[in-house]
Each structure stands twice: as structure tokens, then as C-alpha cells.
Amino acid sequence: MKRLRMKLALIMLFPVGLALFYLVPENSPVIEKYYSNGFYKVLAQVISTITGIFPFSTAEFALLALVLLVPVFLIITAKKIIAEKGAKSRLMVLLAALLNVAAAFSVAYFVLVTMWTMNYNRLPFADIAGLKTEKATVSDLAEVCEYLAQQANMLREQVTEDENGLMTVEGGYTSVFSRAVKGYEAASSDFPELKGSYGRPKPVILSRLMSYTGIEGVYCPFTAEANVNINIPLSSLPATTCHEMAHQRGFAREDEANFIAYLTCSLHPDPDFQYSGTLLALIHSMNALYRHNRSEYGRIVKQYSPGVLRDLRNEILYWEQYEGPVEEISNKVNDAYLKANKQQEGVHSYGRMVDLLIASYKKEKGE
């Protein structure tokens, strides 16, 4: 009876977690001050430091262990049910197993809320950075796109190419992971919310399989690790790494993490990071421009240097080979997750990432 009460108490953590997340108002200064820059920041740094001792992703190994344990649990439960005599006894075994699953799920969800998803309720990065994300004209968007295209062309000349004429990085992902923090160190002088001592990004061993899901990286709140798909083109690896590091620092919204990746890459001392971040921003901005003014889109694309075009085509070809049902399912799951965490699309005119880029560009110009 004592065990049953314990399991029921653990199951009650699920509605408590739901209430904790959904009853807290969005864009809350209280969450920003006491949770995102308080409780979460301290806890994430402690956990990240511990998991950072290991050169591999502890989150990936935990996931693989879970995948193996699920069929073992099912087999053991099935054997127990078969061994019981009588329908009532078998039903009790089944109910006990279901209670165990419900209790484990409830604990996991409660921990997820307290260790991560409350960050979706923090202040928008625009407020933190002092950026005015007002609705912009198509001309404003085109101006930003043209600026980013020029920056990409200039930076492309400063990066190393491989034998195929594609951007490469000496030292590969190891070099990228070891240097990525420099961008955050540079940005933290103006944005103290990006400060902190965290473990290095982790390479995903099963990166090739990960590509079939269409995912470039994933942050694991339970281990506070920024996990990166190391199979992706090197032109996007630095920006993807900085994106996951933004999550590690408590910026949960995907579009804001993209902007922070651009920001930290732009302020990075090394041109490969600067180029990768600019390419990320260019892709998002040009996608928005394509939807609103195809003639301007076509005009700016003609300005791309041969090197930029090769890198962009390489990225397209890379992801085309992994398209299929797995990617579609993954996208639907990810979409459902984001919507469950209050991240609805269409809130801003061009999307939050592009709105932040336009606001940042205007601020730099003094407008």
C-alpha cells in the first residue's frame, strides 16, 4: 500500500508540472530574473560541468540505454502476466506496470519543466538586447538581405576550401567545439545573460542517423549538453554549435537561438564562425524575401559569389539525400513540441529571427 501511495504521489507531479508551466505568464520579468538568470543558470552550469567531464554525449548514451530498456521492460512484464494464474492477478500485474510507466513519465515531465521549459516564459531576447522588432517593409528586408549577401561574399574569401571548393575547417568539429565559446565571451560584454561556464558541445556519434530526422543539433536539459550533428556540412557547423549553446544558456525559443547563433558568430574573432553565422542569417532572410518579393530575391541571389553558391548548393544536396518519412515524422513531432511550449508561428511579420536581424541592422545604422 505504501508503494502504491508513493507511485500515485509521483504521478501527481504531472499535473503540478502542467500548472507550473501554463499558469506562469509569458514574457515574465520574474521568470527572467529568478529562474532563467537564477535557478536555471546555476543548475545548468553545475550539471553541464559534471557531464562535460566526459568526451561523449551522456544524453545520447542515456537515450540508447532507454531504447534498449523499453523492450526488456515489456518482455519482463509480459512474462509476469503469463506466469500469473487468473484474470484478476494478471490485471493487477498489468496495472502495476502501467503505474510504473505513468510515475516515470510524470517525474520526467516535472523535471523537464523545472529544469528547462520555464525558459519559454522568459523575456523575449529583443527586450533583453534592447532591439525594437517592429513590422518592417519589404524594402527593409531586401536591404538586410543585400547587406548579408555582401558580408557572406567578403567572409567567404577568408575561409579555407577543400578539394571540392567547399568551406572546410582545419581540425573539423573538434576545432569548432573548442573555439565556439569565444563568440559568447565576446558577446557577453554587451549581453551578460550569455555569460556562464558550461561544458563543451558534444558530438553525436549517430550523427548520420540523426540526419534522417532533419535535425542539426539538440539540447538535452537533463544533462545540460549541447549535442551537435557532426555529419552536417562544415559551412553550417559553427552556427549550429552556437545555436545549441544558446539553448544551453536558457534561450529556449528556436528563432531566438538562431539569432543568438548569428550574433555570437558575428562577434567571434575567427572568420569561419563569422561566415557560418552570416550564412545562417542570409538563408533565413532570403527565404522570407522569396515569399514576399521574388524579383528582389532573384536580384540579390545574382550577387552571391561562386564560393557562397557552392556552399549553399552543398547544404541543399546534403539534406536532399536524407529526405523521407523519418524526417517528416520528426518535423511533426518537433512542431507539436514547440506548439505545446507556446511557440506559435506567425506572431511576427517575417518571423522572430528575421525581425531581430532587421532590428539589429537598423540599430547598427542608428535608425
Reply yes or no on whether the pLDDT at 289 is more than 90. Answer: yes
CA distances to 42, 87, 99, 251, 289 from 197, in Å: 10, 56, 39, 15, 38
pLDDT at residue 233 tops 90: yes
Q: Are residues 220 and 360 in the same domain?
A: yes
Predicted local distance difference test score (pLDDT) of residue 332: 47
Least confident of 15-19, 84-88, 104-108: 84-88
When pLDDT is cut at 50, 70 and 90, the band that residue 367 belongs to is low
Mean pLDDT value across residues 335-350: 46
* Cβ neighbour number for residue 323 with a 10 Å cutoff: 11
Burial of 31 (0-12, 13-18, 19+ CB in 10 A): buried
For 49-93, how does the pLDDT look when each residue is reduced to its tens digit (9 = 90+)?
Answer: 999 999 999 999 999 999 999 999 889 988 888 888 888 888 888
If asked whether residues 135 and 183 sit together in one domain, one would say yes
Confidence of residue 349 (pLDDT cuts 50, 70, 90): very low
Contact 223, 201 (CB under 8 A): no
Mean pLDDT for 87-101 is 87
CA distance 270 to 196: 21
Residue 341 — very low, low, confident or very high, per pLDDT cuts 50/70/90? low
For residue 148, the tally of other CB atoms under 10 A from its CB is 23
Torsional sign, CA 273, 353, 42, 40: negative
Residue at a domain's end among 103, 121, 139: 121
Reply yes or no on whether the pLDDT at 261 is more than 60.
yes
What proportion of the chain, given as a percentage, has pLDDT over 90? 73
Query: In this structure, are 117 and 37 located in the same domain?
Result: yes
* Domain total in the chain: 2
In sequence order, the β-bridge partners of residue 140 are: none
- Indicate if 27 and 141 belong to the same structural domain: no
Listed residues 121, 138, 169: the one ending a domain: 121
What's the domain range around 322? 125-365
pLDDT band, very low/low/confident/very high, at 335 (cuts 50, 70, 90):
low
Unique residue bearing C-alpha cell 567572409: 155
The mean pLDDT value for 240-261 works out to 96
The per-residue pLDDT for 337 is 46
Lowest mean per-residue pLDDT among 11-15, 24-28, 64-68, 138-142: 24-28
Name the band, by pLDDT with cuts 50, 70 and 90, for residue 22: confident
Mean pLDDT confidence for 190-204: 95
For residue 66, the Cα-to-chain-centroid distance in whole angstroms is 22
pLDDT top residue among 171 and 332: 171
The answer to whether residues 107 and 148 belong to one domain is no
Report the pLDDT averaged over residues 197-213.
94
Residue 164, pLDDT above cutoff 70: yes
117 and 129 within one domain: no
For residues 153 and 134, give the distance between their C-alpha atoms in angstroms, rounded to a whole number.
28
Helix (H, G, I), strand (E, B) or coil at 42: helix
Q: Poorest-confidence range of 110-119, 132-141, 150-159?
A: 132-141
Q: Looking at residue 242, what is its pLDDT?
A: 98
Average pLDDT over residues 245-257: 95
Q: Are residues 17 and 112 in the same domain?
A: yes
218 shares a domain with 304: yes
- Summarize pLDDT for 79-89 with one digit per residue, the tens: 888 888 888 88
The Cα–Cα gap between 6 and 366 comes to 60
For residues 246 and 315, state if they share a domain. Answer: yes
CA–CA gap between residue 101 and residue 239 (Å, rounded): 38
If phi > 0 it is left, if psi is from -120 to 50 it is alpha, else beta; for residue 268 that is: beta
Q: Do residues 325 and 214 both lie within one domain?
A: yes
Task: pLDDT band for 360, please (50, 70, 90 cuts).
Answer: very high
Please determine, for residue 330, whether its predicted confidence score (pLDDT) is greater than 70.
no
Domain termination residue (choose one: 67, 88, 121): 121
User: Could you give the CA distance from residue 348 to residue 336 in angstroms, rounded to a whole number?
Assistant: 19
DSSP secondary structure letter of residue 55: S
Tell whether 330 and 350 lie within a shared domain.
Answer: yes
Task: Determine contact, residues 159/275, Cβ cutoff 8 Å.
Answer: yes
> 22-26, 173-177, 223-227, 358-362 — which is least confidently predicted?
22-26
Kindly state whether residues 217 and 320 are assigned to the same domain. yes
pLDDT of residue 87: 82
Report how far residue 245's alpha carbon sits from residue 225's, in angstroms, rounded to the nearest whole number. 8
